[in-house]
Amino acid sequence: MSNAAPSEPGVLVLAGTPIGRVADASPRLVEELATADVIAAEDTRRLRRLTAELGVEVRARVTSYFEGNEATRTPQLLESLLAGQRVVLVTDAGMPSVSDPGYRLVAAAVAHGVPVTAVPGPSAVLTALAVSGLPVDRFCFDGFLPRKAGERRRRLDALADEQRTMVFFEAPHRTAATLTALAEAFGDERPAAVCRELTKTHEEVRRGPLAELVAWAAGEVRGEITIVVQGAAEQAPTDDPETLRALVAQAEADGTPRKQAVADVARRSRVPKRVVYDLVHRKGEQ
């Protein structure tokens, strides 16, 4: 009996699962769960509940695949794929690899020539965008912000000039702190939406300026949270020397080192950094 590897590898299937109501599951999700050789699940207990509610009889080998064992479990799943098996990856809700386990396995599969496909399904990112009432022609997803205040502030400072609508995930107990940080970084009046328990029985979407949402979040916040924030307004180029000097001086007064202040002002004003640098240093020499 030959132990040679099959001439063709298997297929990795990223299967989107409902973010709320089980009725949102697609017929293809049911088919993939019923016919898989291996199912890798972020939480095997949730998988069992899902398949029971969908009436799926699982014949596949089921294994856990979550943040704590991704690094060690990826080579094992890759071995199954290279042996010609169909591996279905599911997370607790939504699309695998979008702020969920999956990226490592996808990267490994691609590197070894294993086909990767997906079962389209519900996505908290796209659902929140669609119901937010904010511009959706251009957007970016920034996942979970850092928990530490200093790291979070630096991340948001880097997004200060982002003109695309921004989407963030957040835990309910950190929502108030995150909204406060967003208001400090982007201004109290920046339009935003907090989407809670999307597609579930207690779905709620709160829309308004960030200051208003901060006040709302001062009470108890529960459930799965997605925050959508409108991007910055496009600014016309600024080349007035006194304005540029004043902007750098203000940034320095706020604690930004001069080199960084010059770079930030140049970027926001859309003028060459050398121009701002020369203006500031010539002023200082006068």
**Chain mean pLDDT for the chain:** 91
Q: Which amino acid is at 190?
A: R
Are the CB atoms for 14 and 116 separated by under 8 Å? yes
Return phi, psi of residue 142, to 5°.
-115, 15
pLDDT value of residue 66: 95
Mean pLDDT of 226-231: 97
Helical residues (DSSP H) of 187-271, grouped into ranges: 210-217, 241-253, 258-269
For residue range 260-278, list pLDDT tens digits in order. 888 878 877 777 888 888 8
Q: Mind listing the pLDDT tens digit for each residue in 26-40?
A: 999 999 999 999 999
Higher pLDDT, 207 or 280: 207
Stated pTM of the model: 0.79
Per-residue pLDDT averaged across 158-178, rounded? 94
What pLDDT digit, counting tens, does each position of 36-61 carry? 999 999 999 999 999 999 999 999 99
Query: What pLDDT, on the 0 to 100 scale, is given for residue 286?
Result: 45
Alpha carbon distance 107, 110 (integer Å): 5
Nearest residue to 211 (alpha-carbon basis) of 233, 234, 181, 231: 181
Q: What percent of the chain has pLDDT over 70?
A: 95
Task: Give the residue from 93, 94, 121 showing the smallest Cα distance to 27.
Answer: 121
Give the residue-averaged pLDDT of 112-139: 95
Local confidence band at 1 (pLDDT 50, 70, 90 cut-offs): very low
Rounded to whole angstroms, how far apart are CA atoms 223 and 170?
10
Q: Residue 40's closest CA among 122, 110, 100, 114? A: 100
Alpha-carbon distances of 10 from 16, 96, 103, 215, rounded to whole Å: 19, 18, 18, 52
pLDDT for residue 92 is more than 80 = yes
- pLDDT value at position 255? 81
Average pLDDT over residues 234-241: 71
C-alpha angle with apex 248: 242 to 250, nearest 5 degrees? Answer: 100
Give the gyration radius of the chain's Cα atoms: 24
Q: Report the Cα–Cα distance between both ends of the chain, in Å, rounded.
A: 88
